[in-house]
Amino acid sequence: MLLIKCPFCGDRDELEFSCGGEAHIARPLAENTLTDAEFADYLFLRDNPKGVFLERWIHTDGCRRWFNVARDTVSHEIIEVYPMGETPKTEAAKAAHKASWRRQTAAEAAAKPASPAGRSGS
Amino acid sequence: MASLQNVHGASALHGIAAASSPPPQGSRGAVVMRDTGLLDKINLRCDAGNTVINEALSRVVGTRLPAEPNRFHVSGNRRIAWLGPDEWIILAENGSADTITAGLDLPEAGHVAVNNVSDALGSIILEGEHTRDALAKHCALDFHPTVFTPGIVQQSLLSHAGVTIMCLDDNAFQIIGRSSFMPYIVALLKDAMIEYGYEFQPA
């Protein structure tokens, strides 16, 4: 059983939480420019690493708020808890974020807003 | 619209009879569990720093929003309890919800949601020296008297039911749960309290 530190309520039993799976999956803005295979990276493919994994959790039976957790899938150690919309601060979790295969995908590149000058058509 | 003047509500624990079990030897006294009956509850969502709402609350309810997590503020028999960083519940006597919601209906307050959830939730109060022992049997929260002190509200699971638990006094707790789960919660706690002795008082 994990003891998870909800950023609002404090340390609570894992039973009170629900896991939302992999964190930091950005929706491609210009999905029309992607092939089906590239879009599948965003829509279907999920990471399952051995080691540090960044995932989303919600405190379902507490404050009902979402947050991110960096958890080691081998030792179950919770390395970091950080707010939605932010990237991790600890070295181990930062490395996991950087090393994820998702950072290299066309789907993630298409999730970043294009600069106004570089925008092609609408 | 048809008048609702003559429609009377019933407590979520309506029909559950008074019951008791005598305190056995060694018990520090029976736990008294009572149905608080009809109680108005209003769910409020807004920014903690919303000055218009805070001022309206001190006028209408008598106290402001507790910005610190897991805390509740008291004003007479009314309370405002923290539920989330932008969510609170107001507890007030039966029949006061319309006045309170009307008092918070302020266009200048900006993004605010006020919902009367009186009928969705039931409430009981437990009092007695063994209250913490009984609750700890079904809940993973730390019920130590130095941790769960008066003024603290926590949301958790009581066995399988999601509840909001408020510590009113050293040995007094109020439990708010969904109306449909209240008979389950009462049955669960009666069983937990047999070894200390208990008394259940309907509204």
Chain B, nearest residue to A63 by Cα: B84
One domain for residues B114 and B126: no
Measured CB to CB, residues of chain A less than 8 Å from chain B are: 8-10, 12-13, 15-16, 61-65
Structural domain boundaries, residue B47 = 39-118
Same domain for B33 and B130, yes or no, is: yes
Closest by alpha carbon to B155, among A63, A77, A39? Answer: A63
Strand order in the sheet with B39-45: B72-75, B78-84, B87-93, B39-45, B113-116
Task: Please tell me the predicted confidence (pLDDT) of residue B4.
Answer: 65
Do B126 and B196 fall within a single domain? yes
pLDDT at A22: 96
* pLDDT at residue A7 is higher than 90: yes
Q: How many angstroms separate the CA of residue B49 from the nearest CA in chain A?
A: 17
> pLDDT digit string (tens) for A24-50?
999 998 778 899 999 999 999 999 999
At B71-98, the pLDDT tens digits run 999 999 899 999 999 999 999 999 999 9
- Of B84, B87, B155, nearest to A61 by CB-CB distance is B155
Q: Identify all chain A residues contacting B86, using CB atoms and an 8 Å cutoff.
A: none
- Note the ipTM here: 0.87
Contacts of B72 in chain A (CB under 8 A): none
pLDDT one-digit tens code per residue, A75-109: 999 999 999 999 999 999 999 999 999 999 999 98
A60 min Cα distance to partner chain B (Å): 9
| Rounded Cα–Cα distance for residues A42 and A109 (Å) | 11
Using a pLDDT cut of 90, give the percent of chain A over it. 82
How many Cβ pairs within 8 Å bridge chains A and B? 36
pLDDT confidence of residue A122: 40
Beta strands in B22-71 (DSSP E): 31-35, 39-45
Residues of A in contact with B69 (CB under 8 A): 8-10, 63
Residue A117 has pLDDT above 90, yes or no: no
Say which residue, B57 or A112, is predicted with more confidence: B57
Claim to verify: residue B49 and residue B74 sit in the same structural domain: yes
What proportion of chain A, given as a percentage, has pLDDT over 70?
93
Contact A8 B85 (CB under 8 A): yes
Residue B16's pLDDT is what?
A: 93
Number of structural domains (chain B) is 2
Distance CA A53, CA B51 (A): 41
Q: Which residues of B touch A62 (CB under 8 A)?
A: 154-156
**pLDDT classification of A121: cutoffs 50, 70, 90:** very low
B75 and B129 in a single domain? The answer is no
Residue type, B153: V
The domains of chain A, with CATH numbers, are 3-111 (3.30.2270.10)
pLDDT in tens, B179-203: 999 999 999 999 999 999 999 999 8
Put simply, the answer to whether B69 touches A16 (Cβ < 8 Å) is no
Cα angle A65, B184, B20 (rounded to 5 degrees) comes to 130
pTM over 0.90: no
Q: What is the pLDDT of residue A116?
A: 61
| Structural domain contains residue B61 | yes
Query: What pLDDT is stored for residue A32 in this prediction?
Result: 82
CB–CB contact B155 A65 (8 Å): no
> Tens of pLDDT along A19-28?
999 999 999 9
CB pair distance less than 8 Å for A16 and B157: yes
Please say which residue of B55, B90, B118 terminates a domain: B118
**Average pLDDT over all residues of chain A:** 90
Report the pLDDT value the prediction gives residue A101, as an integer from 0 to 100.
Answer: 93
